[in-house]
DNA sequence: GAGGCCTTGATCATATCGATCAGTCTTACA
DNA sequence: TGTAAGACTGATCGATATGATCAAGGCCTC
């Protein structure tokens, strides 16, 4: 994967505040030449550095005020099918496969408790999933963010130069 | 919180593919008038609908290839201090307070296992946190996403009209 | 020391931007 | 049922940013 250098981080930090910031303004704020900024932006597009889904919408603004984790045990032979099915459930925001006895951890949202029950059911019915357990989040203490990583992350181990692309 | 209507969703879906898409192009793709699109975009900015942190950078592109959950038990009296301290750790991407015996669940990233150990230690040293337990993610099955919610979420219960703003 | 890559700073014609206006439509409310 | 408020439209304007392109300079690897 394309590794971001310090120039990228500065650019992305600015973009993070306003993704639609003008190239000219970006150049000023980062102290780079306009052409450079343009080239980087172009590269982000072509290389797909920025994830599809670059627009962060808080789920609550869509009416999804309830967060929860659904942990699922599954038949290991059907992992791919299960994942494929989960991917089709919009309320599943994230899903991870942890080391340990639980096989999949899904971060889901729902409109209300009833809706959460429905979502949990949908997950339980995914192929290969044998059992689920739901844990409601009382509070979203820190919402998903990458910004601090851009700003402070790295430090001593930071690269000054981008690693070879290919 | 500002509730997004169907027009917003269409706009945001387009923006999601390319946050820097031209207003003119947005207007064409959504079938709206240019002025309307401009007004909405302006509103997103002023009302802060789009989260700060609108640029989604995959942590792996910053060198953080390891994902994990750190669950923490804490002295309930010091919740605020703990959260404040966690917020200062860049590697903490998200944090939730679930109902149940574990008090905080943090989604963290790290460069490698050693680095993860360091991050877990930092969390353990936060004020009020009495005990932590780390669970490594073998695989990020579904990365954080909101797009499907924009596209399919809602359905029968979708609002056709934005709820009163104030 | 040569070649490659990235950056810079400049230019150009074109397209977009933000602001503004009057007119129409919808919804909410009396 | 009529009126008022708000949202969307379609149009205009000048100012500005855009994308493309170029030659030149810097830094790296080989």
Q: Tell me: do B76 and B125 sit in the same domain.
A: yes
Per the CB < 8 Å rule, is A96 touching B140?
yes
Question: A153 or A83: whose pLDDT is higher?
Answer: A83
Write the pLDDT tens digit of every residue in A115-152: 999 999 999 999 999 999 999 999 999 999 999 999 87
pLDDT, position B100? 84
pLDDT, position A162? 34
pLDDT at B25 over 50: yes
Report residue A154's pLDDT band, with 50, 70 and 90 as the boundaries: low
Question: B22 or B56: whose pLDDT is higher?
Answer: B22
Residue B64 belongs to domain spanning: 59-137
Q: Would you say residue B148 lies in a domain? A: no
pLDDT at B54 over 90: no
pLDDT at B138 over 90: yes
Sign for the CA dihedral angle at B72, B76, B82, B84 comes to: positive
Question: Is residue A153 left, alpha or beta, with left meaning phi > 0 and alpha meaning psi from -120 to 50?
Answer: beta
pLDDT, position B154? 54
Write the pLDDT tens digit of every residue in B91-133: 999 999 999 878 999 999 999 999 999 999 999 999 999 999 9
Q: Tell me: do B106 and B133 sit in the same domain.
A: yes
Q: Tell me: do B93 and B49 sit in the same domain.
A: no
Closest alpha carbon within chain A to B106: A142
Mean pLDDT throughout B49-64? Answer: 84
pLDDT, position A152? 78
Cβ A25 to strand D below 7 Å: yes
Write the pLDDT tens digit of every residue in B61-83: 899 999 999 999 999 899 999 99
Question: A101 or B84: whose pLDDT is higher?
Answer: B84
pLDDT at B166 over 50: no
Contact indicator for B145, A90 with CB cutoff of 8 Å: no
| Nearby residues of A56 by Cβ (< 8 Å), 6 or more positions away | A144, B50, B51, B53, B54, B56, B146
Question: How many domains are there within chain B?
Answer: 2
Interface of A with B in 111-140 (CB under 8 A): 111, 135-140
pLDDT, position A166? 28
Q: Tell me: do A74 and A123 sit in the same domain.
A: yes
Question: Which chain A residues in 28-57 sit with Cβ < 7 A of strand D?
Answer: 34-35, 38, 41-42
Helices B34-47/B23-30 angle, 10° precision? 110
Q: Would you say residue A34 lies in a domain? A: yes
Q: Would you say residue A164 lies in a domain? A: no
By percentage, how much of chain A surpasses pLDDT 90? 67
Report residue B157's pLDDT band, with 50, 70 and 90 as the boundaries: very low
Q: What is the 3-state secondary structure (H, E, C) of B129-141?
A: EEEEEEEEEEEEE
pLDDT, position B153? 64
At which residue do the structure tokens 């979502």 appear?
Answer: A119
**Rounded distance between C-alpha atoms, residue A111 and residue A67, angstroms:** 9
- Which CATH number belongs to the domain containing residue A78 in this structure? 3.30.70.920
Q: Would you say residue A100 lies in a domain? A: yes
Nearest nucleic acid nucleotide to B22, CA to C1' distance: C16
**Positions on chain C within 7 A of a protein C-beta:** 6-10, 15-21, 27-28
At which residue do the structure tokens 């104030």 appear?
Answer: B166
B13: how many CB neighbours lie within 10 A of its CB?
16
pLDDT, position B158? 37
Helix locations, A20-78, DSSP H: 23-30, 34-47
Sign for the CA dihedral angle at A51, A56, A62, A68 comes to: positive
Q: Would you say residue A163 lies in a domain? A: no
Tell me which chain A residues have a C-beta less than 8 angstroms from the C-beta of B1.
58, 60-61
Q: Tell me: do B128 and B89 sit in the same domain.
A: yes
What is the DSSP code (8-state) at residue A96? E
- Which CATH number belongs to the domain containing residue B42 in this structure? 1.10.10.10
User: Residue A74 forms beta bridges with which residues?
Assistant: A129
Write the pLDDT tens digit of every residue in A17-68: 888 999 999 999 999 999 999 999 999 888 877 887 778 888 988 889 999 9
Q: Tell me: do A103 and A121 sit in the same domain.
A: yes
């Amino acid at each position: 994967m394309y590794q971001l250098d310090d120039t990228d981080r500065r650019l992305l930090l600015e973009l993070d505040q306003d993704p639609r910031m003008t190239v000219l303004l970006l150049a000023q704020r980062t102290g780079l030449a306009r052409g450079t900024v343009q080239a980087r932006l172009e590269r982000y597009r072509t290389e797909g550095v920025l994830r599809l889904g670059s627009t962060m919408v808080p789920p609550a603004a869509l009416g999804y005020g309830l967060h929860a984790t659904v942990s699922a045990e599954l038949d290991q032979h059907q992992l791919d099918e299960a994942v494929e099915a989960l991917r089709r459930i919009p309320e599943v925001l994230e899903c991870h496969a942890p080391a340990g006895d639980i096989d999949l951890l899904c971060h889901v949202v729902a409109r209300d408790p009833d809706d959460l029950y429905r979502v949990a059911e949908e997950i339980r019915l995914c192929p290969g999933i044998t059992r689920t357990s739901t844990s409601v989040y009382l509070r979203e203490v820190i919402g998903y963010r990458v910004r601090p990583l851009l700003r402070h992350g790295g430090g001593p181990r930071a690269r000054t130069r981008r690693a070879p692309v290919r």
